[in-house]
Amino acid sequence: MRYFLEFAYKGTNYHGWQYQPNATSVQETLNKALSTIFKKEMDLVGAGRTDAGVHAKQMFAYFDLDVEIEVPYYIHKLNSFLPKDIAVLNIHKVHEDAHARFDATKRTYEYHIHTTKDAFESDDSWYYPNYLNIELMNEACEILFNHIDFECFSKVHTDVNTFNCKIYEAHWQQIDSRLVFTIAADRFLRNMVRAIVGTMVNIGLEKVSLQEFSTIIEGKDRNKAGFSVPAHGLYLTKVEYSFFN
C-alpha cells in the first residue's frame, strides 16, 4: 500500500531535502523516524528537492507498506520522533502507482523580504532595506506569462530534458514592512525562483528595465539574469495533485 506523507519543515538546520552523505537533510531525518517506527528500512520519495536553508509549508513524499495503518496514531507517533523543525501534517493513502514528484500538477513558492530590521526574522526572511518599486516588479510578473522557456533562471549544468515551465501565478504583495513574492507553475528549475527574485530586485531598484527583462528571458543565458537571493527567504507553500488537495 502506498502512502503520501504530508509535512512541513523549517530548512535552517538542513542541507536541503535530498539525502547528503556528509550533511543532515530533511529526507534522511524523516527516513530515520519512519524506519524506527515501522522497524524496517524506509526510503521516502519526495515531490522535489529544496536547497539548503529553504523552507516548506507543505511538502509530500511517499512510502510503501504491506499493511494498512491507523493514520491519526502514526501522525502523532511520527511527530513525537521528529525534531521541532519538521512537522507531519497528514498521511494520505493513495493508489499504488501514485508518484509524489511526477503526479504533481502545480507547485507554489513564496519569497519573503523584510525591509525593516527585525531580530526575529533573520532565519525566515531576507533583510533588504533598500526601496524597491513594487509596481514595476508586478509589471515584470506579467512578462513571465508570455514565456515558457526559463533557461536564463536555471542553475547551469543541471540535468533536465527541458527548461519549459508553465507559470500560472506570479505577483508581489506588500504587507507592512514585508514584501512577499508568490509564484505557481507546473514545475520549477533548480534555483529558478531565487534567480527570478534576484532579477526582479534589480527591476525594483530600476537598474533593469522591463524591456531588458524580456531580453534576458529570450537570451536563455544565466549570466545575464540577476543574482540568486538567499535561500532562507524561500518557502515551498503548496504542492497539488489531481487525486486530492
User: If residue 93 lies in a helix (H) or strand (E), which one and from where to where?
Assistant: strand 86-94
Gap between the Cα atoms of 175 and 169, Å rounded: 18
The residue ranges of DSSP E strands in 121-189, in sequence order, are: 126-127, 167-175, 178-185
Gap between the Cα atoms of 178 and 126, Å rounded: 10
Here the cell at position 127 is 533583510
Angle at which helix 192-204 crosses helix 210-219, to 10 degrees, equals 150
* Amino acid identity at 215: T
Strand-pairing partners, residue 55, are 235
Rg (alpha carbons) of the chain, rounded to whole number: 19
DSSP classification of residue 115: S
Q: Which of 51, 66, 85, 149 is catalytic?
A: 51
The yes-or-no answer on residue 221 being catalytic is no
Residue written as cell 518599486? Answer: 133
**Burial status of residue 157 (CB atoms within 10 A of its CB: 0-12, 13-18, 19 or more):** exposed
Gap between the Cα atoms of 136 and 142, Å rounded: 10
What are the residue numbers of the active site?
A: 51
